[in-house]
């Protein structure tokens, strides 16, 4: 062992130790590792920051952005609506939700696919009484196995493809993962459809921000345009669009006549409706019924020029009216919010009390929670002047006008171009992300908030460090040790060993770091044994992507822990048998589709 190899191994060992220790953030550990590599000389200074320019970083960032745009569009939720009303039993709900998440995660980032369907799971739970703990973990695990099907489904596939290009000169193509991934996904879906019974059925999720702040539902004012599909339909039909989450409290006609409608009341064009419900449910009804929020009036030219710059984006903020606010005892019309402050009142919550007046005529009180919309430049100043305290940031959809098929169409176009090999993966997703921003499918502020910067920093910093193991000859050295240990084993056992090793390391490093550490070793081991490196790289990618044993190895597992009310020890109950299935199904499929003996 040379000095450089010893330094490289020592650095990797310390890095892994810091990851396991857990006292420092993963991204900071990666940055410290990169700095140390430069200082001790195993990472050339000229190449220290090449990892941040790597295609992997671009693909992960833009795939997250595109996935988020699809989630915000509501297109998937709308497409599933006719099916959801028939899902009454827990078994059917788990099978369908896990299956849909699995399929979608093959074409978007798995965390994005899970985020799209979690609100659907909560709707089903609220309507049918199913415990969220029965639904969320199977959905999270389904998102992980669904990501095995395509190149862009999960980060390990993307990173392994890059490393394969370094080893063989050719990266994995978009659907090279499909033969093995489809088999594992099918077996995993069958197990999850039955195995959800292993989970606790009586857990309650952590309290939501709404509950913590006592936000018990909003009242919003909307106008029924003549071209709305609900014109001429009944109140009950309109409320059905909210799936039990929205009520029509008041109908106002001819400006001043107000009625408390019966379910069979017929709606007319230009009716003013006072709707009550949660912000998310209200947004769903407004979008599906084609309603126009009364608070969304065009800004006066003076306000527009004075308070917002050309092209400035609108934002929606949730805030509480404080005791010294000038709004107390006055109405939005009296305060002239549009002209003086360039903000609009979209909805109001009053501790569960009904609001029976038009929003412009409501006298505001201390403690009222308001949804205010305005330009991102005008809102901070308006909130300060009005003494409205902004609440902890939530993703409020009402008033953002993001529901359309556009993100799905852009994603579909990107997938077609990839399938036809017209552009590289990085270019396809970069182009899709830029196009969605250009078409206002999401704002720049939302886009920056979508990107998981800690993951990108971890990738960019660890890529040069992992390269140091290879350039110093460390991977060949480890592979030589391993080849001596596995030379008496059949080749499939060596593949299984690499898959299990990746599964075992992932909970402590996270999947991206695991692949960066193990994939070069797997490639060198295959070379030492005279076997096809593709099979070993596939095993590492699958093992690193399949962390079912802890809530910390993958963000999908972490995302459902609080809402599902899970404890650390709940994960292995469903995850251990699923891990065994992945190995038992995955290794033979790898041997079948990626022959171990090099051709």
**Per-position pLDDT tens, the chain of length 599:** 788 888 988 888 888 788 767 788 878 988 999 999 999 999 899 988 988 888 778 877 887 788 778 767 767 666 776 777 777 788 899 999 999 999 988 887 777 678 778 777 877 887 788 888 889 899 999 999 998 998 878 878 888 888 888 888 888 888 899 999 999 999 999 999 999 888 887 666 555 444 444 455 788 999 999 989 999 999 999 988 887 778 898 998 877 788 888 889 899 998 999 998 888 788 888 888 888 888 765 544 444 444 444 455 677 888 888 888 999 999 998 998 888 888 888 888 887 677 878 888 899 988 888 888 888 777 888 888 898 888 755 555 565 555 567 888 888 888 788 767 788 778 888 998 999 999 888 878 778 877 778 778 887 888 888 778 778 877 677 767 776 777 778 889 989 988 998 888 777 666 777 788 788 888 888 888 888 899 999 999 999 999 898 776 677 776 677 678 887 778 888 999 999 999 999 999 999 999 887 54
Cα 300 to Cα 119, 293, 297: the distances in Å are 36, 17, 9
Instruction: Judge if 147 and 270 occupy the same domain.
Output: no
Dist. CA 457–CA 176, nearest whole Å: 28
Within a domain: 551: no
Within a domain: 159: yes
User: At which of 390, 416, 435 does a domain end?
Assistant: 390
User: At which of 367, 390, 413 does a domain end?
Assistant: 390
CA 179 to chain centre: 26
Dist. CA 84–CA 545, nearest whole Å: 29
CATH number of the domain encompassing residue 236? 3.30.70.1450
What is the pLDDT, as a whole number, of residue 110?
78
Instruction: Judge if 377 and 316 occupy the same domain.
Output: yes
Taking alpha carbons only, the member of 489, 557, 433 closest to residue 60 is 433
What is the pLDDT, as a whole number, of residue 457?
87
User: At which of 435, 450, 465 does a domain end?
Assistant: 450
User: How many distinct structural domains can be found in the chain?
Assistant: 3
Instruction: Give the length of the chain.
Output: 599
Instruction: Judge if 70 and 132 occupy the same domain.
Output: yes
Instruction: Judge if 188 and 80 occupy the same domain.
Output: yes
Within a domain: 545: no
Within a domain: 15: no
Instruction: Judge if 78 and 156 occupy the same domain.
Output: yes
Within a domain: 414: yes
What is the pLDDT, as a whole number, of residue 204?
63
What is the pLDDT, as a whole number, of residue 210?
47
What is the pLDDT, as a whole number, of residue 404?
67
Within a domain: 500: no
What is the pLDDT, as a whole number, of residue 509?
62
Instruction: Judge if 69 and 155 occupy the same domain.
Output: yes
Instruction: Judge if 319 and 368 occupy the same domain.
Output: yes
Instruction: Judge if 123 and 189 occupy the same domain.
Output: yes
Judge contact between 555 and 510, C-beta under 8 A: no
Instruction: Judge if 169 and 76 occupy the same domain.
Output: yes
Within a domain: 6: no
Instruction: Judge if 67 and 194 occupy the same domain.
Output: yes
- Structural domain span for residue 234: 218-277
What is the pLDDT, as a whole number, of residue 324?
85
Instruction: Judge if 199 and 252 occupy the same domain.
Output: no
In 127-238, at which residue ranges do the beta strands (DSSP E only) sit? 218-223
Instruction: Judge if 332 and 362 occupy the same domain.
Output: yes
Within a domain: 523: no
Judge contact between 511 and 154, C-beta under 8 A: yes
């Amino acid at each position: 062992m040379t000095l450089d190899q010893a330094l490289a191994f020592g650095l990797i060992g310390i890095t892994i130790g810091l990851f396991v220790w857990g006292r420092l953030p993963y991204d900071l550990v990666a940055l410290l590792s990169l700095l140390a590599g430069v200082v001790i000389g195993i990472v050339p200074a000229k190449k220290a920051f090449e990892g941040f320019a790597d295609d992997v970083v671009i693909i992960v960032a833009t795939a997250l952005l595109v996935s988020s745009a699809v989630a915000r569009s509501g297109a998937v939720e709308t497409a599933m609506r006719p099916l959801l009303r028939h899902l009454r039993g827990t078994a059917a709900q788990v099978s369908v939700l896990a299956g849909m998440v699995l399929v979608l995660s093959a074409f978007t980032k798995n965390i994005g696919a899970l985020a799209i369907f979690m609100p659907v799971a909560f709707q089903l739970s609220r309507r049918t009484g199913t415990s969220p703990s029965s639904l969320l973990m199977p959905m999270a695990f389904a998102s992980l196995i669904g990501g095995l099907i395509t190149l862009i489904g999960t980060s390990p596939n993307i990173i392994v493809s890059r490393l394969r290009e370094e080893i063989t000169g050719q990266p994995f193509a978009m659907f090279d993962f499909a033969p093995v991934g489809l088999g594992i996904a099918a077996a995993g879906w069958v197990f999850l459809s039955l195995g959800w019974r292993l989970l606790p059925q009586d857990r309650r999720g952590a309290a939501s921000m709404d509950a913590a702040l006592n936000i018990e539902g909003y009242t919003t004012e909307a106008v029924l345009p003549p071209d709305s599909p609900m014109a001429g339909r009944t109140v009950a039909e309109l409320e059905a669009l909210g799936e039990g989450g929205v009520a029509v409290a008041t109908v106002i006609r001819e400006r001043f006549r107000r009625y408390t409608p019966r379910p069979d009341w017929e709606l007319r064009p230009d009716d003013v409706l006072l709707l009550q419900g949660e912000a998310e449910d209200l947004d769903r009804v407004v979008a599906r019924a084609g309603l126009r929020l009364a608070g969304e009036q065009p800004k006066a030219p003076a306000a527009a020029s004075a308070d917002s710059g050309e092209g400035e984006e609108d934002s929606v903020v949730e805030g509480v009216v404080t005791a010294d606010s000038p709004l107390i005892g006055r109405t939005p019309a009296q305060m002239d919010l549009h002209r003086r402050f360039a903000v609009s009142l979209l909805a109001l919550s009053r501790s569960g009390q009904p609001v029976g007046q038009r929003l412009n005529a409501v006298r505001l009180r201390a403690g009222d929670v308001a949804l205010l919309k305005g330009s991102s430049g005008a809102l901070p100043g308006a909130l300060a002047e009005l003494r409205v305290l902004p609440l902890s940031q939530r993703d409020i959809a009402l008033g953002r006008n993001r529901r359309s098929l556009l993100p799905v169409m852009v994603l579909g176009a990107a997938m077609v171009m990839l399938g036809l090999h017209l552009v590289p993966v990085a270019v396809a997703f970069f182009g899709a992300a830029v196009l969605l921003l250009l078409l206002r499918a999401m704002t720049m502020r939302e886009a920056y908030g979508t990107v998981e910067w800690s993951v990108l920093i971890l990738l960019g910093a660890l890529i040069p460090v992992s390269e140091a193991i290879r350039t110093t000859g460390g991977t060949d050295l480890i592979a030589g040790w391993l080849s001596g240990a596995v030379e008496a084993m059949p080749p499939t056992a060596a593949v299984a060993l690499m898959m299990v090793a990746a599964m075992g390391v992932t909970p402590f490093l996270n999947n991206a770091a695991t692949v960066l550490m193990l994939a070069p070793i797997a490639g060198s081991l295959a070379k030492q044994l005279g076997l096809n490196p593709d099979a070993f790289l596939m095993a590492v990618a699958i093992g690193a992507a399949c962390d079912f044993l802890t809530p910390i190895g993958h963000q999908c597992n972490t995302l459902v822990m609080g809402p599902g009310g899970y404890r650390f020890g709940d994960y292995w109950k469903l995850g251990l048998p699923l891990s065994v299935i992945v190995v038992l199904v995955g290794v033979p499929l790898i041997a079948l589709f990626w022959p171990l003996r090099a051709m």
